[in-house]
Amino acid sequence: MDLPPTPTGAIRHLWQTDYTMVYRSLPLIRLHARRQLAMWGWPGDQQDAVLIISELVTNAINYGRVVDALVAVRLAYLGSGGLLVDVSDAVGAFPDFANLVRGDMLQEGGRGLWLARRLGAELCWFLRDGGGKTVRAHLPGIAPEPGTSPRPLPLA
Ligand SMILES: Nc1ncnc2c1ncn2[C@@H]1O[C@H](COP(=O)(O)OP(=O)(O)OP(=O)(O)O)[C@@H](O)[C@H]1O
Ligand SMILES: [Mg+2]
């Protein structure tokens, strides 16, 4: 198991919500995440970030679901300009993570983790206090210039 990467600098903004672990939650999570990143004016690529969130939540529903458990989505806008995406599910294991996360586009199987890495995310997972695990994507991002206005997210 990898240790979570140490965030650089302080956390500027933090947001977390729990959702029912069903596919129907996905559009709502994407909407909430887009709105949150836009409200913060997070200076990285907000659409890429939402795509990564969507892949990690889909994985949590597919591989980390336990009856009545919730999926927790937590975004932290770091002082470095980066973004931490934490998606927590109810299963306290991620078999073969190191190999899966190193996979390339020619391998058989899924593309979600590959896509997240391709979009610049560093991935790790760790056990949660109280059970389950968190899969974390760290997007390094770009420090915002002082005085610059937030980049709005175009409507899809
Ligand atoms: N939250 C998780 N808990 C346990 N195992 C996971 C979790 N997320 C991913 N995995 C494992 O990692 C593999 C690769 O995930 P990835 O998202 O790259 O592909 P996929 O989900 O299989 O397919 P795709 O995302 O392309 O639909 C999964 O097949 C699963 O075995
Ligand atoms: Mg997947």
Q: How confident is the model at residue 5 (pLDDT cuts 50, 70, 90)?
A: low
Topology of the domain covering 11-139: Heat Shock Protein 90 (3.30.565)
Is-above-0.85 flag for pTM?
Answer: yes
Strands 133-139 and 83-89, by their bridges, are antiparallel
Q: Where are the domains of the chain?
A: 11-139
Report which ligand 1 atom has the smallest distance to the Cα of 95.
Answer: 5
CB atoms under 10 Å from CB of 142, counted, come to: 13
Q: What are phi and psi of 69, to 5 degrees?
A: -80, 160
User: Comparing 9 with 80, which gets the higher pLDDT?
Assistant: 80
Give the tens place of pLDDT for each residue, 104-120.
766 767 889 999 999 99
- Helix, strand, coil percentages (3-state) for the chain, rounded to 5, are 30, 25, 45
| Ligand closest to the CA atom of residue 101 | 1
Which residue CA neighbors atom 14 of ligand 1 most closely?
Answer: 110
Q: How far apart are CA 6 and CA 64, in angstroms?
A: 24
